[in-house]
Structure 1
Amino acid sequence: MDNSSEVRDFLSTRRARITPDRAGLPAYGGNRRVAGLRREEVALLAGVSVDYYTRLERGNLSGVSESVLDGLARALQLDDAETAHLFDLAREANASPVARRRPKRADGLRPSILRLLNAMTDAPALVRNNYFDYVGANPLGRALYAPTFSDPHPNSARFAFLNPAAQEFYPDWDRVTQELAATLRGEAGRNPYDKRLTDLVGELSTRSERFRTLWAAHNVRYHRTGVKRLHHPIVGDLELTYEAFDLPADPGLALSTYTAEPGSASEDALRLLASWVASQAPVPDPAPQPAGD
């Protein structure tokens, strides 16, 4: 992905959504050609010259200071994820060729992570990489995301955007796809030279009009916590709270867990799903008995 284009599109889309009233600026009379802020208004709020801000929005973040980036974040009212994305874009604009090499990623799950997954018996748990592949799950996690795991190489982004079953599985499919595209945008900002990530974006852009539309919006978000509604093929509707945890020792991997509100219908459904999982587990062969005399 071209850094200059990413910077230009990100800053211009953020500027377009902020009205003078929202920014605390007077709305002078006359017709405005833009719904959002003008460049000179962003420059005023950020404490830089109009010429300098124009240079930045044209995609040139070379040599930009942290104080200027902080000023832009305040002027454009960026949230934490968007501010981090802006700093990622600036870092790439100023990085040396060595720094732009693809970071080393974990190729698989360490035994201790596998043990952790298997020890979590009451809550669905899954591990995904930054390419949105599910690389591990406990039995309840696999059962919860059974439609996704029907693919031999389960990938949450491909399932949501390319599999028609996703719209039934996710009652909030519109919101889920928005969040996925925004999370993927953040990943791409951190690792713009990761070919595998770029290939995923290219595949989704080619095959999904929904993805193309969302990608063009340049929205960014963190995938940390929230509520997910699912329509499960076995136990019906579920409303679960998810928590996502990065695994610092395994760059690119994150563990997600799901729980239901105590006493809720979703808790009952989750218990039913756990019972179903237990009933599907193969019964181990009995230990060999010593031969009788």
Structure 2
Amino acid sequence: MHLYDLARAAGPAPRAQAERREFRPVVRPGVTRIIEGMPHLPAFVKNERLDTLAANALGRALFAPMYADPTTGANSARFAFLSPAARTFYTDWERVTYESVGVLCVAAGKNPYDRDLSNLIGELCTRSDIFRTMWGSHDVHVFREGTKRLEDGLSVVVYSAPPNTAAEDALKLLASWSATAGQDHARDTDIPSTK
């Protein structure tokens, strides 16, 4: 399928495709309710460009370094390749970067006229020698465990930890911290009554 998409993209662009307006998928309220309904598992909605369009509280807490870096724009590829924090955040940074390149390669083959995708790939090629080398190798690695594809090119990604492990304990601790931080934030933003 990937080779077919690449061959289609290599041909002349049909006028209708080249001129069509960009479609920006929206996360439906039902999908948002689903990820918010999993408070003990980090859950996200991502597009094919690896933009995080929605995340539950635990997902935002888990990826706090990505959200804290204003240069990433909640894009996991930008975070992996451009943020110094990514190398310490990911225990297997190299696998994550190969996966990111693979996902973007597949997306580029399926959507060769996606201007935002082209801009992202251009930015990463310009700003990261490692990305440029990986992208140039055309070696597609896609590992998408725990991912459910939706229509409109969106995916729901959910992380979990094996039972009775240090990872599960850490996830529970993060969930507890996230819930407490959320309650503190809600209290801080309450408007005092004027009665």
TM-score, normalised relative to structure 1: 0.59
**Structure 1 position 194 matched with structure 2 position 194:** no
**Does 1:276 pair with 2:177?**
yes
CA displacement at 1:98 relative to structure 2:
2.2
Encode CA deviations 1:126-161: one digit per residue, 9 max, x unaligned: 111122111110000011111111135211011110
Alpha-carbon distance change, 221 to 95 in structure 1, aligned in 2, over 3 angstroms:
farther
Asked if residue 104 in structure 1 is aligned to residue 20 in structure 2, the reply is no
What is the aligned counterpart of 1:247 among 138, 144, 150? 150
Once residues 79 and 23 of structure 2 are traced to their aligned partners in structure 1, the CA distance between those partners, rounded to angstroms, is 26
Whether the aligned pair in 2 keeps the contact of 1:88 and 1:189 (CA below 8 Å) is: yes
- Over aligned residue pairs, what C-alpha RMSD do you find? 2.2
CA contact (8 A) 1:223 1:244 kept: no
Query: Which letter maps to 2:172?
Result: R
After TM superposition, where is structure 1 displaced by more than 6 Å over at least 4 residues in a row? none
Match of 1:78 in 2: none
Partner of 2:2: 85
Question: How far apart in 2 are the matches of 1:199 and 1:176?
Answer: 21
Q: Does 1:129 align with 2:47?
A: yes
Quick one: which of 126, 131, 134 aligns to 1:211? Answer: 131
Per chain length, whose mean CA-contact separation is higher, i.e. which structure has more relative contact order (CA < 8 Å, sep 6+)?
A: 2
Q: CA offset at residue 181 of structure 1?
A: 1.0
Structure 2 residue matching 1:198: 3-state secondary structure = helix
Deviation for aligned residue 1:99 = 4.1
Unaligned 5+ residue runs, structure 1?
1-83, 226-242
If the length of structure 2 is used for normalisation, what is the TM-score?
0.86
Q: In structure 2, what is the equivalent of residue 4 of structure 1? A: none
Structure 1 residues 256, 168: closer, same or farther in 2, change over 3 A? Answer: same
Larger helix proportion, structure 1 or 2? 2
Within 1, Cα distance between the matches of 2:2 and 2:140?
7
Of 155, 176, 183, which residue of structure 1 is paired with 2:96? Answer: 176
Q: Percent identity?
A: 48
Does the CA contact (< 8 Å) of 1:132 and 1:156 recur in 2? Answer: yes
Tell me, in whole angstroms, the C-alpha distance in 2 between the residues paired with 1:95 and 1:223.
30
Report the number of matched residues: 185
Structure whose CA Rg is larger: 1
